[in-house]
C-alpha cells in the first residue's frame, strides 16, 4: 500500500535537503601540516616541508615560493589544514593562489584558503613566529617529496 504520511514526507524532504547541501566534491579528503621558513628584504624566499595524510597514508611534501614587494624580515610558520578535491596524492602538487578573502594575519594567527590549477583547495590555519612585515602564501609551490 502506497500511503504517503506527513511524517514520511517530512523525513524525505529533510533527507533531500541535507543531501543537496553535502556534495562529495566538498568532502574533506586529506589533512596536512607544513612548516615554512621565510626571509627577505624586498625579495623574499620561503622553504618548508610537511606531511599530507590521504586515505590513511602519510606523504612527505616539499614547499617553496618567492615573493616580491614589501617583504622585510624573517619568520617561521606552522600551518595545519584540510585539502579538498583530492583524487590522488599527486593532485596536491602545484602552485597555489589565494581564493576569496585569502590570507589574514591577526595576533600571529594565519588563516588562508588557497587553490591550485587541479582544483585542490587548501583551507589552512596556523601561527607565525618571528618578525615579518609581509607574509603571502599566494604563489606557494607544493610537491611530493621523493
User: Which of 61, 63, 89, 64 has the alpha carbon at shortest distance from 145?
Assistant: 61
**pLDDT surpasses 60 at 46:** yes
Task: Give residue-wise pLDDT tens across range 67-76.
Answer: 766 667 888 8
DSSP state of 13: H
Q: Which of 42-56, 76-90, 91-105 has the lowest mean pLDDT?
A: 91-105
Burial of 124 (0-12, 13-18, 19+ CB in 10 A): buried
Q: With contact defined as beta carbons under 8 Å apart, do 12 and 6 qualify?
A: no
**pLDDT surpasses 70 at 93:** yes
What percent of the chain lies above the pLDDT cut of 70?
64
**pLDDT surpasses 50 at 12:** no
The Cα 122–Cα 143 span in angstroms is 14
Q: Dump the DSSP string for 24-42.
A: GGGSEEEEEEEEEEEEEEE
Report the DSSP beta bridge partners of residue 50.
Answer: 34, 61
Report the DSSP beta bridge partners of residue 115.
Answer: 97, 121
Q: Which of 5-9, 29-33, 73-77, 131-135 has the lowest mean pLDDT?
A: 5-9
Helix (H, G, I), strand (E, B), or coil: what is residue 49?
A: strand
pLDDT of 84 reads 93
pTM: 0.69
Amino acid at each position: 500500500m502506497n500511503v504517503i504520511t506527513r511524517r514520511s514526507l517530512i523525513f524525505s524532504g529533510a533527507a533531500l535537503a541535507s543531501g543537496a547541501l553535502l556534495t562529495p566534491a566538498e568532502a574533506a579528503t586529506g589533512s596536512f601540516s607544513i612548516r615554512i621558513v621565510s626571509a627577505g628584504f624586498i625579495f623574499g624566499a620561503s622553504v618548508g616541508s610537511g606531511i599530507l595524510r590521504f586515505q590513511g597514508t602519510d606523504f612527505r611534501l616539499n614547499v617553496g615560493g618567492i615573493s616580491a614587494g614589501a617583504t622585510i624580515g624573517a619568520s617561521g610558520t606552522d600551518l595545519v589544514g584540510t585539502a579538498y578535491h583530492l583524487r590522488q596524492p599527486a593532485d596536491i602538487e602545484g602552485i597555489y593562489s589565494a581564493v576569496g578573502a585569502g590570507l589574514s594575519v591577526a595576533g600571529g594567527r594565519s588563516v588562508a584558503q588557497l587553490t591550485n590549477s587541479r582544483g585542490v583547495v587548501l583551507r589552512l590555519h596556523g601561527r607565525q613566529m618571528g618578525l615579518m612585515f609581509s607574509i603571502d602564501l599566494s604563489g606557494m609551490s607544493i610537491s611530493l617529496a621523493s
